[in-house]
């Protein structure tokens, strides 16, 4: 697996390490989980909004 470095401030790194320890996971896996959850939150927020014109037209379309 390829990896890269990400610069974060000391306080954030400290919190990240605490969170990883609480989860029993590595720091890298904790970051991966955090990114996934943020993405899921964004998808959820998008889906909970009002449908746009195209979506409304599709939902109102007949099946035959």
Domain ranges for the chain: 10-49
pLDDT at 51: 87
| pTM of the predicted protein model | 0.73
Both tokens of residue 44? 């959820």
pLDDT at 55: 87
State CA 57 to chain mean position distance. Answer: 29
Rounded to the nearest 10 degrees, the angle between the axes of helix 10-23 and helix 27-48 is 90
Question: What are the 10-residue block averages of pLDDT along the chain, 64 residues in total?
Answer: 92 98 97 97 92 88 72
Question: Rounded to whole angstroms, how far apart are CA atoms 64 and 46?
Answer: 29
């Amino acid at each position: 697996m390829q990896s890269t470095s990400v610069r974060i401030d000391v306080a954030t790194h400290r919190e990240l390490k605490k969170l990883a320890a609480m989860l029993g996971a590595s720091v890298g896996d904790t970051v991966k989980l955090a990114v996934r959850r943020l993405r899921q939150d964004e998808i959820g927020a998008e889906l909970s909004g009002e449908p746009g014109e195209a979506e409304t037209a599709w939902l109102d379309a007949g099946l035959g």
